[in-house]
Structures are given as structure tokens and as C-alpha cells.
Amino acid sequence: MHPPANPALTLDFIRAHTRLAAPSAVPELLLHLAEEPIELWERTEQERGDQLPPPFWAFAWAGGQALARYVLDHPDLVRDRGVCDLAAGSGLVAIAAARAGASSVTAIEVDPFAAAAITINTAANDAAVEITLGDVLDGDAGGADVVLAGDVFYSRSMTERVLPFLQRARDGGARVLVGDPGRAYLPRGRFTAVATYDIPVTQALESAEIKVTTVWELP
């Protein structure tokens, strides 16, 4: 069990260990981003005095960048609709949806650091996004019209929980799109490709300079 975070100190920590920059594929938006993942991970654990998940919130992952790019380029997907951004990380996809004219946007995260990062990133982009902090994967998308998920198929255990959630959302009438840079656990046979992007990425994260990244829709 993680000790409770002090919200003000968490915000100060994020500002101190990131810099405001535009993601490579989404230059219209700004995020508080880190440059080196391992050092930041160690610092977050020192800050909380406990073992924590990697700081996914401090980087613009390829799947999220592709999905955000697609949303901004196809605003009719979300305009005047309620949107859910699952495993929101930095909040990039949620911010893109808000900028594209969604009537409401909810960013869902389990990491308090991510929730804090979304708070300051939405402020940097003058975007209205509600944040849900908690594990919702055994539930549903709360009646969202559109469900978006960037880079969520990175492990078998995550896929086994995310896929049923997304299927329930689709069965309930939502459009469901995911962004994925070729992760091993993406169930490709369940999705239809709608767009592909070459996303510049950080060597420290991906051991590559470009990730071919696809936006998929659950039919």
C-alpha cells in the first residue's frame, strides 16, 4: 500500500523533474516531460518511500502520440461527445480530445503521480479534463461515447484486464480506439487498423528512433 501523497508536494516534484515541451508528433500541445526514465523512477520511489510503477506519466509514448494525432486530425470523432481516456498517463490523449471539441473528457489513472501530471498538463493546454484516480477495469466506461487507450497492451496481465473493459464499452455503444506501436500483447485480430504513423521516440525508452504506430478501432 502506497503512503498518501501530498498533492502540492507531488506537483512541485513533477515540475522540478520535467520540462514543458511539445511531443514530437503533436506539436500543438505541451506536456511536462522527463528526459531519463530510470533516474526519474528512482526519484519517485525516494519521494514516496515505496516501490512504485514506472513513471509512464512523464513521457509521450508512441501509442498515445498516434492516438492524439488521430483525434486532432479527425475531430468529428469526439466533437460534442463524452470521452474516456483509459490509462491516461500524461493526459496527452485526453487533452487532444478536449482540444478537438469533446463535450466532456475523463482521464482514468491508478497512479497519483499521473493524476498530478494530468492536472498540470491540462492547465498548460487550457483544457478541461476530469480525472478519475482508481482501478475501473472491472467496471465500465461510465457511459462514454468514445473510449480511447494509448499503449495499453504492454503485458499479458494488462491485456487480460483491458480488453474485456474495452469490449464492454463497445457493446454499450461506444466507439473504441487504441494506439499501439507493435506491443507483443496487442490482440490484432480483434481490431481494425484506421491509421498508421511514424512516431519519433526516445532511445532510452524504445531502443529505437522511430516506432511505426497504428491506431486501431474495435469493430
Strand partners, 21: 31
3 state DSSP class of 53: coil
pTM of the model: 0.91
Give the pLDDT confidence score for residue 4 in this predicted structure: 41
- The model's pLDDT over 80-112, given as tens digits with 9 standing for 90+, comes to 999 999 999 999 999 999 999 999 999 999 999
Give dist(CA 104, CA 210) in Å, integer.
32
Helix (H) or strand (E) holding 201: none
- Beta-sheet strands, E only, within 98-191: 104-109, 130-133, 146-150, 175-180
The CATH number of 7-217, from 1.10.150.130, 1.10.540.10, 3.40.50.150, 3.50.30.60, is: 3.40.50.150
CB 133 within 8 A of CB 117: no
Domain residue spans of the chain: 7-217
Strands (E), 152-200: 175-180, 192-200
| Tens-level pLDDT at each residue, the chain (219 residues) | 344 455 566 888 889 889 999 999 999 999 999 877 656 756 665 665 555 566 788 999 999 999 999 999 999 999 999 999 999 999 999 999 999 999 999 999 999 989 999 999 999 999 999 999 999 999 999 999 999 999 999 999 999 999 999 999 999 999 999 999 999 999 999 999 999 999 998 777 777 889 999 999 999
**pLDDT tens digits, 30-40:** 999 987 765 67
